[in-house]
Amino acid sequence: MIRMTLADVADAVGGVLDLARSDTRDTIVSGMVDTDSRLIGPGDVFVAKPGDVTDGHLFVPAAVEAGAALALVEHHVDAEISQIVVPDVVQALADLARTVVARAREIGDLRVVGITGSNGKTTTKNLVQRILQDEGETVAPRNSFNNDVGAPLTMLRVGEGTRFLVSEFGADTGGMIARLAGLVTPDIGAVLMVGLAHAGGFGGIEATQRAKTELVQAIRPGGIAVLNIDDPRVAAMAEVAAERGVTVRWFGRGPGAEVRAEDVEVSAAGTTSTIVVTDGSGERRMPLHLQVLGEHHVMNALAAIAITRELGVDPEDAIARLATVQIAERWRMQPLGSERVRIINDAYNASPDSMSAALRTLAQITEPGQRKVAVLGAMSELGEAAGEEHDRVGLQAVRLRIERIVVVGRDARRLFLAAIGEGSWDGEAVFFETSDEAYDYLMTELRDGDRVLVKSSNSAGLRHLGDRLGESFS
């Protein structure tokens, strides 16, 4: 966090400052801000957030023991630490983040990037971070910190020397992206795609489109919207950008994209393509090799190149840096195991689009003589579309000639039934209630040369099954 006095922090969050004996209103704080007392260090700010299971106020003494300089609380805690009492610490987090980013803009040349989309946000954020970190101090979310708590915590890591803030904006309801992006008014906003992820919470794909459009509406006038030309729902956001005086830059596979990919090829060694960048002087063609598995990650790379190009990074330099990225993120197309039995653990998130892309990747990286094995769990938050979309995945798995389809969890049973109905019988498709049962089966079933995809939503918990299999076959 940038340097602020205790009085400044209190003013920013609209709270009542309760000083410890050794502090004054002019005492400076500049440490990290966090809601987890285990991550607090000397000089940090602890946010005592009430939760569903426990209450952060109970951990203020632990934060003091760790050296915290300030606590944001909703009621006074008996502890020797300066406290700012606010009605709602989550709102206080947002208010403090807004102030910190605004001051950082005044102090230096901070540029803010916002990224949203139904799929690919975290991967694209990581790719953008990798490119920008060679240009200057870059702050980006840990893991998928993209909600009402995680996004402000990321913003609060901005310091006086930060050149780039990369924010990832997720949402499960309308208005959430507008609220979070409104804290920083991005210079560049990128929308990757509009799909069925979280569609149940939004109430349908049209509502999802409106929610993602909120990022374009939050871009500061004179800023830049980086949009996927291949997705009609994203492309339609260009009208909103024009109304706000925001310039549009296009990425994608189709004609008209200023950053596009051609000749995409996928193998177990990664993904190769030719990147074509168009500007006023013509076209530049450059080879890209991604170690990250999956054809769909080419789109994320295109978005990252388009974003960073607007920040002054030559696309050739961006491509060279992308080639060093080995995995998108833990549990996202993460190779585990060994060449004998390769496990691809992609079980952190799942939507119909990402499930389809992962299955296609499994088919593409499996060579003759090797078996394709898909270990699949439920896709969450699809609302009324859940049954139909699980059916679709089961049908696709069969049509891709996946030799073993292992379905885990009661919420995914319809996927199994769809595979059976499409002709995957005689042991080709099996169903298990629990991950332990699936693990026991796979340990007897898997053989040399198998390529195994583990894919589900986070709530299904198959990422741990993927880790377990990876360790067993390492």
How far, rounded to the nearest angstrom, does the alpha carbon of residue 88 sit from its chain's CA centroid? 26
Report the alpha-carbon angle 101-103-109, nearest 5.
Answer: 80
Dihedral sign computed on CA atoms, order 226, 228, 233, 236:
positive
Structure tokens at 412: 């995914």
Do the beta carbons of residue 319 and residue 133 sit within 8 Å? no
Q: Residue 98 has which token pair? A: 């807004």
Annotated binding-site residues read: 117-123
Q: Which residues are annotated as a binding site for ATP?
A: 117-123
Count the Cβ atoms, other than its own, within 10 Å of residue 296. Answer: 22
CA distance 356 to 429: 17
16 bridge partner residues: 85
Residue 375: name the closest of 268, 464, 293 by CA. Answer: 464
Structure tokens at 169: 């904006």
Between CA 273 and CA 414 the distance in angstroms is 36
Q: How far apart are the first and last CA of the chain?
A: 41
Token digits for 348?
């952190």
CB count, 10 Å around CB of 261? 22
